[in-house]
Amino acid sequence: MSRRRSLTLAVGLTLVLIPAVAVIVSFFWLPFSPDDTSGGRLAPPGDGHLLGTDKLGRDLFTQLLLGGRIAFATGLGAVGVGGVLGVSLGLLAGFATRWLDDAAAVALDILIAFPTLLLAMLIVAGAGASLGTAILAIGFGLAAVVARLTRVLVKQVLSREYITAARVAGISWPRIVATHVLPNIGPVVLVNLALQTGLAVLAEASLSYLGLGTPPPNASWGRMLFEAQATVLTAPRAAIAPGVALIALVIGVNLTADGLRDLADPTRRRSR
Amino acid sequence: MEKYIVKRVLAAITALGLAGVLAACGGGDNKDATSANTGAAVIQVGSVYEPQNLDNTAGGGQGVTEALNGNVYEGLFKLTDTGAVEPLLARDRKVSDDGLTYTFTLRPNVKFHSGKALTSADVKASIERVTAANSKSARKSNLEVVKEITTPDDSTVVVKLKQRSISFVYNLSYVWIMNSQAKEFTTTEDGTGPYKLGEWKRGSTLTLDKFDGYWGTPAKNAGVVFHYYTDATALNNALLTNAVDVVTNEQSPDALAQFDSNKAYQVTNGKSTTKLLLAFNDKVAPFNKVEVRQAISSAIDDKKLLSSIWGDYGTPIGSMVPPSDPWYEDLTSVNGYDPAVAKQKLAAAGLPNGFTFTLDTPNYDPHPTAATFIKSELAKVGITVHINTITADEWYSKVYQKRDFQATLQEHVNDRDVVWYGNPDFYWGYRNPQVTKEIDQAEQARTTDEQTTLLKKANKTIAEEAASDWLYLYPQIVVASSKLSGYPINGLNAQFLAYDIVKN
Amino acid sequence: MLRYLLRRTAILLVSLVLAAVVLFLLLRLLPGDPVNALLPVGATPEQIEAARRELGTDVSLPIQFLNWLRDAGTLDLGRSLISTLPVGPEIVARLPVTIPLTLSAFVLAVLVAVPVGVLAAVRADRWYGLILNAVAQLGIAVPAFWLGLLLITVFALRLQVLPAGGFPPDGWSEPGAAIAALVLPVGTVALVMSASLIRYVRAATLEVLGADYLRTARALGESPASALRRHGLRNASVPVIAVLAVELATTFLGAVVVESVFALPGLGSLLVTGIRQHDYPVIQGVMLVSTAAVLLVGFLGDIVQRLIDPRLLQRGAS
C-alpha cells in the first residue's frame, strides 16, 4: 500500500482509538462524578477541571467522556443494526427474480428516499426519545442503503461461473451463501458500513441537538452543543469542546474507512 | 456540451444572487418602520410562547394570553401589571347582599373590530364559552360557580351564582368578551381591544395593528409584531442583533450576563407567579406519608438550586403562594434545608435506608437541570432517583390525566392557585378535609380580609404537610432595548399589555 | 425512450402509493392515542367517541388508510391536532422559505464542488490537491448545526452584519431582508453539501482520468485539458448527476436542522414542531409532501441521466 494510504489509515485509527480508549477507561474511572455539581457555574479550567465546568457546575471533561460513550454506542449500535438488517434484506433481494426483484428495488429506493435523519425522527416521535430508540431508528435508516448495496453485490456474485459450478456439483444454497457469497461481498459491505458509522454518529448528534435523541440529563455531544448556545459568547469552551470531539471522531472514522477500502481492494488506483 | 451550458446558466444565477445579497447587506433593516399618519413606531416583541391557535377556550396556550389579552380582547375587568383589578368593559357593578347576584352595567359606545356594537348578549355568550362542556379554558373550573346569566337589556348583564364567590370579579378579568356573532376564533379575532389582528404567520410572527375605532385611550404605538422563537438562544440573538426590541420573559439565565453590563439594554426584575414544583403523588406510597414528603423537602437545598440556575435572580418560596398574592407569608423555613432532619424523618417513616422512586421530568428547561440537582441531593440521604424524561404531552396524559406517576417536576404559572390543594381530585392527590373546607369557606367569605385569613391558615397546613416541594419562584425578567419604555415588567399570568410601549 | 419514460413513470406512481402506505403504517403503529391532544381533562366517553369521529380514528385501519389516501389525493391533508388549522395551507405557507433555501444552497454547492472536485482530481498528486481533499474530509465531518452556530457567532453576534435568525414577517415582499436572512443558512447548507459533493466529483473525475478513451484521445494528439473537457467530463457527469438528484432531495429536508438553528419558519421546523407535539396530521402531511418531492426529483434525475449518458446515446437506447 502506498505511503499516503497507510498514512490515511494511521491518522484515522489514531483519531478513533484515542477517544475509544478514553471512553473505555471512563467505565472504570471518571475524573468527577457525573452528578457532582460543586464546581461553580461555567468555571474556567483549573482545580482539577481540565475544561472547566458547565452551567450546573459539573465537570465538562467528564460530560465529554459520557457523551463519547453515547457517540460510540450509537455509531456501533446503529451500524450493527443496519448491517445485520441490511445484509439480510439485501441477500433476500439478491436472490429474488423478475418482478419480485423489481418490487424489491423499488421498495429499497423508497426507503432510501426517506433521509436517514427524518426516518429516525419519525420513529423517535412515536417510540419516545431514548438511546435505544435512536440507535434503532438510525439503524433502520442505514439498513436501506446497505440493503441496496448488498443486493447489487449479491447479484454480481451470483452471476459468476463458480456459483453455477457449485450448484451443478449439488452444493446447497445455504452453503453457497456461507462459503461464496458472504466472503465475496464481505469486504465491500464492511467498508460501506465503516463509512456509515460517521453518518450514524452525526445523525445522533443532530437528533440530540433537536431534542429528539438521548434525553437529558444524559449528556450527548449534540445535546451539549444545544445547551452551550446560550453561553457561546461568554463561555465558548462549552460549545467548542463537544464540537471538536465530534468532528475529530467522524474524521477519524471516515479516514479509517478510506484506509480500509484501499486495503480491501489494492487494485484501485485512487482513494475516495 | 450541455454541461457547459448548464454551468454557464448556473453561474449567471449565482452572480445575480450574489449581487442581490450585496445589495441587501447594505439595505439594512426597516425595523423602525413608522406608520404613515401618526409617526409612532411599531414595537418588535420577541417571545418563545407562540399561541397554538387564537382562542383561549380552545387550548390556545400561554402564548395566546400573552399576545391577545388586553391587546386584542378585553374583559369586563382587567388585571393591571401591579395586580389590581379595575373595571374595563363593565362601567360599574352591583352585588346583592347575599353575594349571589351580580349586576354589571356595560360601558356605552364600545365597538368590536368588525364594527358591531358591544351588547350584553356578547358578554353572556363569552362567559358561556368558558364554562361550556368542551371548553379548554384554564378558568373553566373557577367559573363553574355561575348558575345563570340574564340580559335584561343591551347594556346590563345579571349573573346569578350558585354560592358566594369572592374571586368572581377577579376571575372575570380572564374572560374575553368576544363578538357572539363571529364565526370562528381559532385563526381570526373579533374583540374590543386597542389592537386588531394583522397577520399571523405560524412559526414566525403575529402582527397587531392599532385599532382606530377603539373606545378608550388609543395605543401609544402604531402596532406590535410578536416574533416567535422555539429556543431562548435564538430569541436572545434576535435581541442582540436588534431584530426585536424586547424579550417578554427571559428564559435563559446564562444569557443575562450579555445584557446586564450592556448599556444598550435594560434588564428589569419583576414579580413573577411561576413556581417550580416537585410534585409528589400524595396518594401513592411512600409519598402518602407526611414524614417522607417532609424529609425530601428538607433534603433539597432550594437556594443552591435557584442560584445554580438563576444566579442572583429568582425568589425562594416555601409554599404555593407567590409574594404577589394577598395571602402570602414567608414560609421558607417550614421544612427548610436540613439533611440531618431529613434522615431523622425518613427513619421515623420506617425508611432508614432510603428508597427509590421515579421522577417524571419534562424534557424542556429547567426541569432536566433541576432533576439532576435533586438526584444528587437526595442521594446524600440515601434516596435513589430515576429520572424519566418525558415530553409535554406525555406529561399531560400520563401525569395530569392518568395520575400514573410517583413524583414529577412541573412549573405552575398562575397566581392564586393554592386553591387547587383544596381539590382532592387534582393530579397530586392531596387530601385534607380541613384544608378543603377552609378553602371553600375562603371563596365564600364576605370580605377579602376573611378570605386572606382563611387562605393563610390553609396554606400553612399545606406547607407544613409538604403536600409538594416548592423549589423556587421564577424571576420575571424582561430585557429590552434602552430606547423602549412603558412595557410591563410583572407579566402577571403571562399577559403582556403592549399599548403603553413607546420607542424613543 | 418513450417506453423507458412510461416504465419510469409507472414506478414513480407505485413508489408514491407505497410511500404513503409506509408513512401511514409507521404513524399508526406508534403508541399514544391522538385523541388525548383534543380533549380536556375528565372527558366523558361520549366526548372521546366524538373526538375519535372527528379524527376519523373510529373506523377500521384499512378504511382509515383509504380515507387518508382519498383526502391526500384531493390535497386535503387534514387539520393540525394542536392548532386545528388545516395542514395543506400551513405547508404551502412554509415553502417560500424552504424552497429558496434548498435551491440556492444546492446551486451554490454545485458551483463550488464541481470546479474544486475536478481540480482536486486532476492535481491529486500535488500538495494543494491533498489540501483540497483534507478540507473536504473536514467538511463532511462537521455537523451542520455546529457550523451554523459558528457562523451566527461570527457574522451576527460579533460582527453584526447579518441577522442571527428569523425571517421577515412580510416574507419576500421585503426581498432585501429576506435575502439577508437566508445568507447564513444557505451558506451553512451549501458548505456542508459541497464537502460531500467534492468527494464524489473528485472520485468520478479520477475514474475517468484513467479511462481508455481518454488515453486514446491523448494518443490521437488532443491536449489533456481538451480531452478531459470533451470526453471525460461528460462521462464523469453521469454518476455525479445521479448523486446530485439524491443530494438535492436530501437537502430539501436535511435543512431541517439548519432551519432550527436559524429559527426559519420553513418546512423543516414545521416537521420538528409537529414531532415534538405528536401532531400526527402535520407529520404525515409534511413527510408525504417531502417524500413525493424526493421521488419526483429522483425521477427527473433518472430522465436527465439517460438523456446525457453518452454510452446510451450511442446505442440509441430506448
- For A131-144, the pLDDT digits (tens) are 888 898 889 888 88
Residues of A with CB under 8 A from a CB of C: 106-107, 109-115, 117-118, 121-128, 198, 202, 205-206, 209-212, 222, 225, 229, 232-233, 236, 239, 243, 246-248, 250-251, 254-255, 269-270, 272
State the helix-helix crossing angle for C233-261 and C280-308, rounded to 10 degrees.
160
Number of Cβ within a 10 Å radius of residue B4: 10
Q: Does pLDDT of A108 surpass 80? A: no
What angle is formed at CA A190 by the lines to CA A187 and CA A194, rounded to 5 degrees?
135
Number of Cβ within a 10 Å radius of residue B10: 16
pLDDT at A264: 67
Cell numbers describing residue B320: 404555593
State the helix-helix crossing angle for C175-209 and B2-27, rounded to 10 degrees.
150
Cell numbers describing residue C138: 473536514
Chain C closest-CA separation from residue B135 CA (Å): 7
Q: Which of B252, B391, B394 is nearest residue A230 as measured by Cβ atoms?
A: B252
Q: Which helix (H) or strand (E) holds B294?
A: helix B290-299
Comparing CA positions, the residue from C165, C157, C163 lying closest to residue B29 is C163
pLDDT at B472: 94
Torsion region of B382: left, alpha or beta (phi above 0 gives left; psi -120 to 50 gives alpha): left
pLDDT at B1: 37
pLDDT at C77: 74
Q: Is the Cβ of C142 closer than 8 Å to some Cβ of chain A?
A: yes
pLDDT at B266: 92
DSSP string, B81-98: TTS-EEESSEEEEEE-TT
Cβ separation C82–B136 shorter than 8 A: no
Residue of A102, A111, A121, A123 best to disrupt the C interface, most CBs of C under 10 A: A121
Cβ separation C257–A206 shorter than 8 A: yes
pLDDT at B330: 92
pLDDT per 10-residue tile (average), chain B, 504 residues: 43 46 40 45 90 79 87 91 87 90 92 92 92 81 89 92 90 90 86 92 89 91 91 86 90 80 89 90 92 93 88 89 90 92 92 91 84 89 89 79 92 86 91 93 90 94 94 92 90 85 90
Task: Report the C-alpha gap between B444 and B450 in whole angstroms.
Answer: 9
Q: Is the Cβ of A101 closer than 8 Å to some Cβ of chain B?
A: no
Q: Where are the beta strands (DSSP E) in C133-185?
A: none
pLDDT at A159: 79
pLDDT at C280: 78
Q: Is the Cβ of A129 closer than 8 Å to some Cβ of chain B?
A: yes
Cβ separation A106–C295 shorter than 8 A: no
Q: Is the Cβ of C151 closer than 8 Å to some Cβ of chain B?
A: no
pLDDT at B320: 94
Neighbours of chain A (3+ CB pairs under 8 A): B, C
Cβ separation A211–B372 shorter than 8 A: no
Cβ separation C295–A255 shorter than 8 A: no
User: Looking at this protein, which amino acid is placed at residue A271?
Assistant: S
Asked whether the CA dihedral A159, A160, A161, A162 is positive or negative, the reply is negative
Chain A residues close to B369, C-beta within 8 Å = 55-56, 216-217
> What digits encode the pLDDT tens for the residues C125-152?
778 877 888 888 888 888 888 898 889 8
Task: Report the C-alpha gap between A182 and B255 in whole angstroms.
Answer: 56
> What digits encode the pLDDT tens for the residues A89-102?
888 888 877 777 77
Chain B residues close to C234, C-beta within 8 Å = 3
Comparing CA positions, the residue from A48, A66, C272 lying closest to residue B372 is A66
What DSSP character marks residue B470? E
Q: Which residues contact C44 (CB under 8 A, 6 or more apart)?
A: none
**pLDDT under 50: residue ranges of chain C:** 41, 314-318
Comparing CA positions, the residue from C156, C202, A63, A141 lying closest to residue B236 is C156
pLDDT at B464: 94
Q: What is the 3-state secondary structure (H, E, C) of B118-171?
A: CCHHHHHHHHHHHHCCCCCCCCCCHHHHEEEEEEEECCEEEEEECCCCCCHHHH
Chain A closest-CA separation from residue C173 CA (Å): 30
Chain B residues close to A229, C-beta within 8 Å = 231, 233
Of how many residues is chain B composed? 504
pLDDT at C318: 37
Chain B residues close to A37, C-beta within 8 Å = 308, 372-373, 376
Chain B residues close to A232, C-beta within 8 Å = 233
Torsion region of C23: left, alpha or beta (phi above 0 gives left; psi -120 to 50 gives alpha): alpha
Q: Which of B17, B229, B393 is nearest residue C278 as measured by Cβ atoms?
A: B393
- Class of residue B379 by CB neighbours under 10 A (exposed 0-12, middle 13-18, buried 19+): middle
Cell numbers describing residue B469: 416541594
pLDDT at C51: 62
Q: What is the pTM of this model?
A: 0.80
Task: Report the C-alpha gap between B365 and A226 in whole angstroms.
Answer: 12
Task: Report the C-alpha gap between B39 and B221 in whole angstroms.
Answer: 9
Of how many residues is chain A composed? 272
Buried b (16+ CB within 10 A) or exposed e, A45-77: eeeebebbbbbbbbbbbbbbbbbbbbbbbbbeb
Comparing CA positions, the residue from B183, B223, B175, B216 lying closest to residue B199 is B223
Helices (H), chain A: 3-26, 60-95, 98-113, 116-127, 131-158, 161-168, 173-176, 182-209, 221-228, 237-264
Task: Report the C-alpha gap between B305 and B150 in whole angstroms.
Answer: 52
Q: What is the mean pLDDT of residues A149-178?
A: 80
Task: Report the C-alpha gap between C23 and C286 in whole angstroms.
Answer: 11
Chain A closest-CA separation from residue C211 CA (Å): 11
Comparing CA positions, the residue from B485, B46, B66, B63 lying closest to residue B243 is B46
Which residues 224-243 in chain B show a CB within 8 A of chain C? Answer: 225, 227, 229-231, 234, 237-238, 240-241, 243
Residue A262 pLDDT class (50, 70, 90 cuts): confident
